[in-house]
Amino acid sequence: MTCVHWRWRVATTQRDLDDVARIRWAVFGGEMGLLSEQSAVSRREVTCIDTLDTTVHLLVHAGTESVATMRVALPNAEVAANLGGPVGLEMAQRVDLSGLIQPGRVFAEPSRFCVLPKWRRTEAVTWLQTAMYTESRRRGVTHWIASANLETDSREDALLSWQVVAHRGWLSPRWRVDVPDPWQAPARPRNPFYTPEERSRAEQGLLDGLRVPRSPSLFATTMGARFISEPLYDAYFQWFTLPLVMALDEIPADSLARFGALENGVRPAV
């Protein structure tokens, strides 16, 4: 894969949007088993947010193959009117985001960050982050608000991940939101994240070295994400997530250097 020609683009054609939906189903449905049989009929994952004219779909290509995608939803007046608030983002349906809104801040909601399994240990992730940053800057976005997958439907394990995140210093010192009680979470989880040994260590207060799920760890270390609440249960995918904010002006310098190198056709240093 070292000689692959990489590029990213905004998905605009029907073929592009079909690739977006297929990649999402391949990850969330085929690989993770999080989608219903109804989705399996067409093997595409699509929601009403995807069709809004304020939603941007990004695709990363390796050669001629579409290998990664994500969407960036900008504030939408129709969504704001339907939710009865000023924000206009899907996340406002579950979390009160009004305290984050101030003059000069333009929030967008990135989601559906998907890389096909074959391409996860390649530059595909960095290319997708580059696309996310470059296109958001072009559209005047100052902050992203999102919710990172905790890879579990266990409330116990989700709270432990949050504790480890706090132990690592990744909680936001500025922002805090409240999340609803996860009453829809299963009483008997099917997908634990931590082992009994790891939970035992945590009970003893030994949080050093405990794992953090890939998504929150990735965004904290490469994009400067800071987490703003306890875990939020996502009833659509039936897993816990961790709400976060990322300020585009606070992305780590080494990440910006990698983005710039890719955009300028220079292979980033390892």
Note the pLDDT of residue 191: 94
Task: Dump pLDDT digits (tens) for 99-133.
Answer: 888 889 999 999 999 999 999 999 999 999 999 99
**Within-domain flag for 219:** yes
pLDDT band at residue 267 under the 50/70/90 scheme: very low
What is the average per-residue pLDDT within 49-71?
A: 97
- pTM for the full predicted model: 0.92
pLDDT at 39 over 90: no
How many C-beta atoms lie closer than 10 Å to residue 140's C-beta?
A: 9
Q: Which domain holds residue 116?
A: 71-263
**Within-domain flag for 22:** no
Determine the Cα–Cα distance for residues 115 and 97; give it in Å rounded to an integer: 28
**Within-domain flag for 234:** yes
The answer to whether 20 touches 70, Cβ cutoff 8 Å, is no
Give percent of the chain with pLDDT exceeding 70.
97
Task: Dump pLDDT digits (tens) for 83-97.
Answer: 988 889 999 999 999
- DSSP E strand boundaries for the chain: 6-10, 55-62, 65-73, 107-115, 143-149, 226-227, 232-234, 239-247
The answer to whether 49 touches 90, Cβ cutoff 8 Å, is yes
Task: Dump pLDDT digits (tens) for 124-150.
Answer: 999 999 999 999 999 999 999 999 999
Note the pLDDT of residue 269: 36
**Within-domain flag for 191:** yes
Half-sphere exposure of 199 (CA within 13 A, CB side): 11
**Within-domain flag for 35:** no
Q: Give me the number of domains the chain comprises.
A: 1
Note the pLDDT of residue 119: 96
**Within-domain flag for 88:** yes
The answer to whether 63 touches 73, Cβ cutoff 8 Å, is no
What is the average per-residue pLDDT within 147-176?
A: 97
How are beta strands 55-62 and 65-73 bridged, if at all?
A: antiparallel
Place of tokens 């800057």: 137
**Within-domain flag for 185:** yes
How are beta strands 226-227 and 232-234 bridged, if at all?
A: unpaired
